[in-house]
Amino acid sequence: MKHLISVNDLDHQFISEIMSRAQEYKQRRQYKGRDFWDALSNRLKNRLLITDFFEPSTRTRLSFEAAMLYMGGNVIGTENAAEFSSFKKGESIADNFHVISGYGDIIVGRFLNEGDAHEAANASLVPLINGGDGKGEHPTQALIDLFSIVEKFPDDKAENLRVTFLGDNKYSRTVQSLARLLARFACVSEINFIGPEEVNSELTSFLFEIDTIAENHDHRVTYRVQHQLSPETIGKTDIVYITRSQTERHYFKGLLEGDFVFTTELADLMPEHGLILHPLPRNSELPVEVDDNPRAYYFEQARNGLFVRMALLEALCLT
Ligand code: CP
């Protein structure tokens, strides 16, 4: 695989290798501390990562950059390509990525519009990783989410998992990627989408796609769409995946008026083994009080980004 644009680009073997490598990195980091980084510091020596971000980012850009630096590589890039690159002077995405691909070994891009990542990949001479394209996809976040789920639900505990996506399920690219990815796995039996009707009404073709993905992997996923936050659904959910309103892409009143806030009372309704995920950044949909709930895992999920992205850079740079 040369580029990583969509979770649909990933085969099972590649996913499984990334999960194992990231797990190994995380475990070794825990036990070896500083020695761990020293042992890795030649892996990507003399390789150059270019980060070209047209939208704001904290986790994606910095964890990719940290991953490359820890493995002995170098990094150049811009966190605001929309303002500080020649895009501002009218240069196309294709020209931008064609040119910069001549300067480095691998690129992570973040894009304003769905489809831009494909355009950039078509023009790039080196592997291009989609770090999020508009409301399109965010495949590396989905791998981090999957890694975090597998940590809590390893193979022997992963059966009949019920997942609820709560919030901006149409315009959040992390939902778009993770739901596609989870639909492949037979251990996921139910996927619920809770959000305002105005967002849910735009999910029709996506739900059809989820159904087809599951069918192509020889199993069935029951999915349900709900326009109101249902305590009953949350009470039966193993994994809640919350997203903020993507206000940079739309304005939907229902999401902004507090109807979909995941309160501590709702968190307490989940089974004891439940998992609360959020790709972050969060707004008011996930109050800080929930951080104290033992099911809250989103800061660990963000921390996992480093290990998964180390594994990804290694896999894509060295093949
Ligand atoms: N989850 C995520 O993509 O975070 P950033 O926007 O901060 O990169």
* Ranges assigned E (strand) in 134-213: 161-166, 188-194
What SS3 state is found at 151? helix
- Token look-up 């990507």 returns 44
Distance 254 CA to ligand 1 centre (A): 23
Is the CB of residue 212 less than 8 Å from the CB of residue 185?
A: no
Is 43 among the residues known to form the active site?
no
pLDDT at 25 over 90: yes
Q: Is the peptide bond before 196 cis (omega within 30 degrees of 0)?
A: no
Inter-residue contact 73 to 44 (CB < 8 Å): yes
Closest residue by Cα to atom 1, ligand 1, is: 279
Atom of ligand 1 nearest to the CA of 131: 3
pLDDT score of 165 more than 90: yes
Pair 277, 301: CB distance under 8 Å? yes
What's the pLDDT tens digit per position in 77-100? 998 999 999 999 999 999 999 999
Distance CA 177, CA 117 (A): 14
Indicate the pairing of strand 48-53 with strand 106-111: parallel
Taken in order 250, 251, 253, 258, the sign of the CA dihedral is positive
Asked whether the predicted pLDDT for residue 255 surpasses 90, the reply is no
pLDDT given at position 251: 67
- pLDDT of res. 301: 98
What DSSP character marks residue 174? H
pLDDT for 113: 96
CA–chain centroid gap for 241, Å, is 11
What value does the mean pLDDT take over residues 116-138?
Answer: 97
Note the pLDDT tens digit of each residue in 239-254.
999 999 888 887 666 6
Average pLDDT estimate for 63-70: 97
Band of the pLDDT at 37, cuts 50, 70, 90? confident
Pairwise CA distance, residues 169 & 203, whole Å: 8
Percent of the chain predicted with pLDDT > 90: 85
Indicate the DSSP class of residue 105: S
Residue 62 Cα: closest atom of ligand 1: 8
Only one residue has tokens 């921390």, namely 303
Pocket test for ligand 1, best of 52, 54, 55, 59 (most atoms within 8 A of CB): 59
Q: In this structure, which residue's CA is closest to atom 6 in ligand 1?
A: 57
Instruction: Give residue 221 CA to ligand 1 midpoint distance, Å.
Output: 28
Residue 188, pLDDT score: 95
DSSP SS3 for 61: helix
- Please give the model's pTM, rounded to 2 decimal places: 0.96
Phi, psi of 53 (to 5 degrees): -110, 120
Q: The tokens of 64 are what?
A: 């990719």
Ligand 1 atom having least distance to the Cα of 55: 6
Output the CA 223–ligand 1 centroid distance in Å: 27
Q: Is 89 a catalytic residue?
A: yes
Is 60 noted as a catalytic residue in this protein?
yes
Sheet with 275-277, side-by-side order of all strands: 222-226, 188-194, 161-166, 239-242, 275-277
Annotated catalytic residue, options 29, 47, 59, 282: 59
Instruction: Report how far ligand 1's centroid is from the alpha carbon of 132 (Å).
Output: 8
- Mean pLDDT for 139-146 is 98
Q: What does the pLDDT average to over 141-145?
A: 98
Closest residue CA from atom 5 of ligand 1: 57
* pLDDT grade for 167, boundaries at 50, 70 and 90: very high
Are 284 and 262 in contact by the 8 Å Cβ rule? The answer is no
Give the Å distance between the CA of 248 and the centre of ligand 1: 14
For the chain, the C-alpha Rg in angstroms (whole number) is 19
Tokens of 228: 């109101």
CB-side neighbour CA atoms (13 Å) of 116 = 24
Closest residue CA from atom 4 of ligand 1 = 59
Mean pLDDT, residues 299-319 taken together: 96
User: Are 49 and 73 contacting, i.e. CB atoms less than 8 angstroms apart?
Assistant: yes
| 8 Å CB contact between 144 and 165 | no
Q: What percent of the chain has pLDDT over 70?
A: 97
- The ligand 1 site (C-beta within 6 Å) comprises 57-60, 132, 138, 141, 279-281
Q: Quote the ligand 1 centre to 236 CA distance (angstroms).
A: 28
Is 58 a known active-site residue? no
Largest Cα span, the chain? 55
The pLDDT tens digits for 262-287 are 999 999 999 999 999 999 999 999 99
Report, as an integer, the average pLDDT of 21-33. Answer: 89
DSSP 229-273: --HHHHHT-SEEEE----TTT---HHHHTTTT---HHHHHHS-TT
Q: What is the pLDDT of residues 187-198, one digit of tens each?
A: 999 999 999 988
Q: What does pLDDT average to over the chain?
A: 94
Number of CB atoms found within 10 A of residue 80's CB: 12
Indicate if the pLDDT at residue 36 is higher than 90. no
Under DSSP, is residue 67 helix (H, G, I), strand (E, B) or coil?
Answer: helix
The band of 35, judged by pLDDT with boundaries at 50, 70 and 90, is confident
The model's pLDDT over 127-137, given as tens digits with 9 standing for 90+, comes to: 999 999 999 99
